[in-house]
A and B are shown apart, each in its own frame.
Chain A
Amino acid sequence: MADRSAEVRINDFSEVDCGISAEEAVIEAERCLRCKKPACVEGCPVGIDIPGFLKYIEEEDFRSAIGIIKNSNMLPAICGRVCPQEVQCEGECILGVKGKPIAIGALERFLADWEREHGVTVPESKEKRKERIAIVGSGPAGLTAAAELARNGFSVTIFEALHAAGGVLIYGIPEFRLPKKVVAAEIDEVKRLGVLIRTNHLVGRSVPVEELLSYDAIIIATGAGLPAFMGIPGENLIGVYSANEFLTRVNLMHANAFPQYDTPVKRGGNVVVIGGGNVAMDSARVARRMGADVTLVYRRRQEDMPARLVEVHHAEEEGIRFLTCTNPTRILGEGTVTGVEVVSMDMCELDDSGRPSAKPIPGSEQIIPADVVIEAIGQSPNPLLIRMIEGLVREKKGNLKVDEKGRTTVPKIFAAGDVATGAATVILAMGAAKVAAESVRKMFDGE
């Protein structure tokens, strides 16, 4: 589990964590206590048989080990890298009570990478069935649902609005956390199951709603891609980005390699990132790699940040300046951004979310110079498609209303992932997608 040193890695977009060797994997797997009632499995949103695959690693039978994972999870190279294991499988590991939990994520990643190098076996699919399923969106939820349904013999078409499949895996999470060739390889596996991915198709525009409704079942997995802006003065100045735009320009369009690639992005100078989640960390670290001096402004304390701890550490190591208990009040400049006015925040009693609510301290205003401001304060579901389908109900914050089986308020339409939960994690989206896919199967099997 070796990270490349911060001084080296801030000059490129290659992966920070180099992964573990086969020897290290075997030694790590041997530490597992083989619990009778493994809590780690409970902690995994897709219920991978973790002791099962650890046992095969111990026997150095990596092929069987990855097979076990793929029974539950078609995107292990991705999950091994981006899951917040500390609050999922590893957070439940009994060894973590007194010492270090098993590094389940690193082992999952090791197996997926090993398989990619040694030849991938595509799981067998069941007999072909006549039902056609449409999936809207090719992010983690859409891909997972597609793989599950294809393996059950359904004919599956994914509609994707962008020119590349993967959703947030391709436009949101940067290369240095999740190499795009890893994403492409896992998407290829889903295609090899017979799933058709139609890119450049925005449902509701390129695909009329009536055409969508002609499918036997539909799973909406359109994510939470609508960026929020703070609503403070100066937000439309040149140099102010939503994190979605900034990350899309770099991750999807390769603006970091401009002018070899044609998409530009403002780089270098002083960058202020607003927010404390993974998206904020990603934006800050991307800007750093393009030569910027980066300040991250967060209104609560560092320990309240929703970002993964490891990403906060990585950001700190890479020289990102953290300005916590601080909130922007306005963005300054004429035409182009020149700075951000911020105010210090007083931490008050805990609010409903268990975090302290923050109140501005009068007179504590200061100005931070900035050439670029990136707002990473959250996203919500894009309402476009949801509004077009009669009968779909939206809840607060625009989330699509879905029951515990992934059913929407319209028969034969299901939904999974961020569109139903609001912005969450890759693995939660995948877990929900498995549930939705299972509901679709049961509907046709009359269960």
Chain B
Amino acid sequence: MYQVKSARLLAENVYETWIEAPHVSRNAEAGQFLVLRIDDEGERIPLTISGVDGDCVRVIFMAVGTTTEKLAALKTGDAIHDVVGPLGQPSEVHHFGSCVLVGGGVGIACLPIIAKALKESGNSVIGIIGARNKDLLILEDEMKEACDELIITTDDGSYGIKGFAAGPLKEICESRPPDAVWVIGPAIMMKVTSGVTKPFGIKTFVSLNPVMVDGTGMCGSCRVVVNGETKFACVDGPEFDAHQVDFDLLMSRQRFYHPEEKESREHHHSGGCGCGGHH
């Protein structure tokens, strides 16, 4: 059992939870993830490690389905059955020169830990964070602190620059091309945004988020195609060269269980979980 040390709402439907898991926190590096299982009936889901503090590890997630809703309902002192990690390859952090980190929506959660690691390796770091609107934007202060410069975009223009993060990224590529770029967010956002750097030939990383089960390379549920080769995102990734990823396949495979995910949510909301529907 792993104890929840603190939990809070960051933005509409987006939660931050700190979990006591020393075996994870003490060994975690930027870009890695963990797999957790909340209770005996629970499934295993992967979440990016978005911060460590002593024996605790932080996850930031959007409550979109059965497991994330269960996780969002946990309060300080509650327990999580299983936490395994850190998993996956760490981000490729070394001295590039100048780097740009682009985060979309809850994908922003992955960035501060990478930004800090890149700064420690002597890079200058520009952050671009984008959300649908002002209320959905997370970790602005943390990113301000971690980056040399921070650009904010919202789709509706309610805060920062109006439009997608791809806009400012393109401007930077034209005016002062960076040496490496990270783009992390929903698959479609990663596909579109990482396309911006391709004509400039700038090394670009994305962190893929396919369906996972064990997270240790024993099943291939998370397989993705990179440069024409099948890779397991949990052990070969989750970060890959953005310009070699088959995003359409990734998005197709992410839809694998959409009907079942809906069924599961309905089951839990109708009280099938035994809680009588009181969430």
A residues near B (Cβ < 8 Å) are: 161-163, 199-202, 205-208, 225-227, 229, 235-236, 238, 241-242, 244-245, 248-249, 253-254, 258-264, 335, 382, 384
Contacts and interface: CB of A to CB of B under 8 A. Distances in A.
B275 to A, nearest CB: 13
A241 B263 CA distance: 21
A206 B256 contact: no
Given A201-B84, A205-B87, A238 B23 contact: no
Contacts of A241: 221
Given A202-B84, A208-B27, A262-B42, A244 B220 contact: yes
B220 A229 contact: yes
A206 B85 contact: yes
B82 A199 contact: yes
B218 A238 contact: no
A253 B268 CA distance: 17
A248 B220 contact: no
B213 to A, nearest CB: 6
B253 interface: yes
27 contacts: A161-B214, A162-B214, A163-B44, A200-B84, A202-B84, A202-B87, A202-B216, A206-B24, A206-B84, A207-B23, A207-B27, A226-B217, A226-B218, A227-B220, A229-B230, A238-B252, A241-B221, A242-B219, A245-B219, A249-B213, A259-B267, A261-B42, A262-B41, A262-B264, A263-B43, A264-B257, A384-B216
B218 A225 contact: yes
Given A258-B264, A259-B272, A245 B82 contact: no
Given A202-B87, A207-B23, A227-B220, A248 B42 contact: no
B66 A206 contact: no
Contacts of B86: 205-206
Contacts of A163: 37, 44, 81-82, 84
A418 to B, nearest CB: 12
Interface string B211-235: 0011011111101010000100001
A199 to B, nearest CB: 7
Interface residues on B, range: 35 or more
Interface of B: 23-24, 27, 37, 41-44, 66-67, 81-87, 213-214, 216-221, 223, 225, 230, 235, 249, 252-253, 255-257, 260-261, 263-264, 267-268, 272
Nearest to A253: B43
A261 B42 CA distance: 6
Given A226-B217, A238-B256, A262 B83 contact: no
A200 B260 CA distance: 26
Closest 10 CB pairs of A and B: A264-B260, A245-B219, A259-B267, A225-B218, A163-B82, A262-B43, A263-B43, A200-B84, A206-B23, A242-B220
A396 B225 CA distance: 26
Nearest to A242: B220
Nearest to B223: A236
Given A162-B216, A235-B230, A242-B220, 18 more contacts: A163-B37, A163-B82, A200-B23, A202-B87, A205-B27, A205-B87, A206-B27, A227-B218, A227-B220, A245-B219, A245-B221, A248-B219, A253-B43, A258-B263, A259-B263, A263-B43, A264-B260, A382-B217
Contacts of A248: 213-214, 218-219
A242 B217 CA distance: 12
Contacts of B255: 238, 335
Contacts of A202: 84-85, 87, 216
Contacts of A245: 213, 219-221
Contacts of A199: 82
A199 B86 CA distance: 14
A242 B235 CA distance: 16
A264 B261 contact: yes
Nearest to B23: A206
A227 B223 CA distance: 12
Contact of A161 (B216, B221, B230): B216
Contact of B253 (A161, A208, A238, A382): A238
Contacts of B264: 258-259, 262, 264
A242 B123 CA distance: 42
Given A206-B24, A238-B255, A262 B221 contact: no
Contacts of B67: 262
Contact of B84 (A161, A226, A382): A161
